Chain A
């Protein structure tokens, strides 16, 4: 499973790319593999305000539903509208075209490094 070193992670298998005050969020390669073929992504409205840990949507495969949790608090500045028609992008390119939303962060996040996340995956397997 791919765990890019330049990203940060959550225990609930989201990844975060922080650029300035904007955090891009998606689900990890491990998460998409566990879910299988993604067929639907529920995303919040642009402009919604989330606190860290809030459930903001869900990723659904044919068989399973996985809730999404905000890794950091902030305002939703963009959602990946392409996922409405092509949710499979989450399987094909979880760290790229499969990104889910962008948050303007308002607080410091308590996130895992790539090394810590890899350790978590090992413990869970």
Chain B
């Protein structure tokens, strides 16, 4: 990996100018922080933060069988999506393990599936392999799109300066196609922070001018570090942490995105049905560390000295000021267990998810 040339988003120069710390992430050179993770985290919770997430992949399903293809590939019943609507879903292997978690957009003629950067090639191969018999074109349009995420309570007022689109009337998980500061944009009321906000899909040449305008208007550049603490507080899964080929979406607690009753069979449906009937092999729990220490990804979870699971994500929550985490544990594990931090068992307590929920207006 080290020798491989890292890809750069159209916003690379903006990050450099802003003094970002750039790190390799999923084959990309991405900003992990600018001023500092805590300050950026707080900016998103209290005002507005701006993220470059152009590394995400955009895969379009085009053709007469587009809907059949997407139905076959994802756990959500995308037949229920209206044009202008997006839905969160998992992509599974036949055995129920997770290929990726994705956002599916229903467009007038096609479906757009937004995938994790690290999984892009694997996903496209999986998509094509399972739809060979259908009249559908699976087009990887990732290089044609930049993606900016404007997140926080002031996202509406900031973005409103630059677009005629009816932002106030745009519901969560809906999108409109329009212009932002004169640039063609898909304006999607979605995000990965637990705050109100938008994800803006723009052409690569529009990314940098738009970035500068949004920053001038008061958005704080925020990096992948803050993105991770924000999504963790919001109890959202990260592929590679909570979700992977060995973990089903039911186990990872995203059963709300799995429509086991949908008419058209999807890859993995049988395995997930069986798991639901027979009981989960493991379950995702949110926890707070009661003792001193911060649990991290891959730390063991133990009860009475016996390992019963693994921490999938953990951090010091900037909002709560406490060490929080997610763990995949045996189904029988009760609300009290230890997380083993550098060989030291530290008491932890299961708590309901999410850790943080914004106040609805």
Contacts and interface: CB of A to CB of B under 8 A. Distances in A.
B37 A61 contact: yes
Nearest to B23: A63
B146 to A, nearest CB: 24
Given A36-B33, A36-B36, A40-B323, A60 B316 contact: yes
Interface string A36-67: 11011010000000000000001011110100
Given A37-B38, A40-B293, A40-B323, A63 B32 contact: yes
B36 A39 contact: no
A36 B293 CA distance: 17
A61 B294 CA distance: 10
Interface residues of A, number: 12
B225 A62 contact: yes
Contacts of B32: 63
Interface string B313-334: 0011010000100000000000
Given A36-B225, A42-B342, A62 B38 contact: yes
B316 A65 contact: no
B342 A62 contact: no
B315 A62 contact: yes
Contacts of A36: 33, 36-37, 225
A37 B37 contact: yes
- Sort chain B's interface into a size bin: 10 to 19
Contacts of B294: 39-40, 60, 65
Contacts of A63: 32-33, 37, 225, 228-229, 315
A30 to B, nearest CB: 13
Interface in B221-268: 225, 228-229
A36 B32 CA distance: 11
Contact of B37 (A58, A62, A65): A62
B296 interface: yes
Contacts of A61: 37
Contacts of A62: 37-38, 41, 225, 229, 315-316, 318
A79 B294 CA distance: 19
Contacts of B315: 62-63
A61 B296 CA distance: 12
A62 B33 CA distance: 11
Contacts of B293: 40, 42
A123 B256 CA distance: 51
A1 to B, nearest CB: 14
Contacts of A39: 294, 316
* From A37, A40, A42, A65, residue with most partner B Cβ within 10 Å: A37
Interface in A59-105: 60-63, 65, 84
A42 B346 CA distance: 13
Nearest to B224: A63
Contacts of A42: 292-293, 342
A123 B318 CA distance: 34
17 contacts: A36-B33, A36-B36, A37-B37, A37-B38, A40-B293, A42-B293, A58-B342, A62-B41, A62-B225, A62-B315, A62-B316, A62-B318, A63-B32, A63-B225, A63-B228, A63-B229, A63-B315
Given A37-B36, A63-B37, 19 more contacts: A36-B225, A37-B37, A39-B294, A39-B316, A40-B293, A40-B294, A40-B316, A42-B293, A62-B37, A62-B41, A62-B225, A62-B229, A62-B315, A62-B318, A63-B225, A63-B229, A63-B315, A65-B296, A84-B292
Q: Give the top 7 A-B pairs by smallest Cβ distance, nearest first.
A: A39-B316, A62-B37, A37-B38, A63-B225, A40-B294, A37-B36, A60-B294
